[in-house]
Amino acid sequence: MNHILVLFDSHTGNTAKMARLVAEGAARIPDTETRLRSLDEATAADVLWCDGLALGSPTNMGLLSWKMKRFWDEAMLEHWMKIDGKIGCAFSSSGGWGGGTELACQSLLTVLVNFGFLVFGVTDYATSLTTLHYGAVTAREPRSEDTQAACRLLGQRLAEWTAVFLHGRAEQHPARKLAERRGPGAA
Ligand SMILES: Cc1cc2nc3c(=O)[nH]c(=O)nc-3n(C[C@H](O)[C@H](O)[C@H](O)COP(=O)(O)O)c2cc1C
């Protein structure tokens, strides 16, 4: 069974809305169990349980929130060097476009790299003008179809990668599924 954790901080509910969409995307992949946890309810055991982690925080001064940093500084520190090899990705909500949302995603990925996570961005377009190279981003709540699609695609891709790389389910590789959708003879 694929184990996906969507772990988030959210002060006014915007990142929490993204988190629910990310979890919906992960659930698209068969044989996937998803846990959705705010920092207030999460424990280190949730991180130990997961194969893949989508980590979300509001953009705070272009960075992850202090509360998210504290979780990794305090709750997770004793597990450092014991949880390498899980797969990770990031998402963030900011006050406005250009407010440092992708920088905040990078700071979340930096934390994950320090714990030995294999982190990724998504090269596909979620919609015609929306991609998520550093993770899913939005200004305030994810109210547009584009940002909602980006959140769902992030969760889906996380569950695809854990299925492929941690459970040997080659049929879940996104490139293979794309080729199958295009059918024989497609370039
Ligand atoms: C301390 C603090 C710092 C913030 N820094 C930024 C920032 O650097 N850039 C930005 O666009 N918005 C910034 N914001 C706004 C939040 O990122 C934004 O309101 C976000 O949608 C909140 O997400 P939440 O509802 O999940 O808490 C900041 C908010 C706070 C409280």
14 lines ligand 1 (CB under 6 A): yes
H/E stretch holding 125:
strand 122-127
140 lines ligand 1 (CB under 6 A): yes
pLDDT digits (tens, 9 = 90+) for 92-107: 999 999 999 999 999 9
Q: Give me the percent of the chain exceeding a pLDDT of 90.
A: 97
pLDDT digits (tens, 9 = 90+) for 91-144: 999 999 999 999 999 999 999 999 999 999 999 999 999 999 999 999 999 999
Q: Is residue 187 part of a domain?
A: no
Bridge partners, 32 (sequence order): 2
Q: Which atom of ligand 1 is nearest to the CA of 12?
A: 25
Q: Give me the percent of the chain exceeding a pLDDT of 70.
A: 99
Nearest CA to ligand 1 atom 27: 11
Alpha-carbon distance of 72 to 16, in angstroms, equals 19
135 lines ligand 1 (CB under 6 A): no
Q: Which atom of ligand 1 is nearest to the CA of 139?
A: 21
Q: Which atom of ligand 1 is nearest to the CA of 96?
A: 11
H/E stretch holding 132:
strand 130-132
Domain containing 106: what range?
Answer: 2-182
The number of domains in the chain is 1
- Average pLDDT score over the chain: 97
Q: Is residue 27 part of a domain?
A: yes
Q: Is residue 71 part of a domain?
A: yes
* CATH label of the domain that carries residue 176: 3.40.50.360
Q: What is the pLDDT of residue 187?
A: 57
Q: Are 2 and 31 in contact (CB under 8 A)?
A: yes
Global pTM reads: 0.97
Alpha-carbon distance of 116 to 39, in angstroms, equals 20
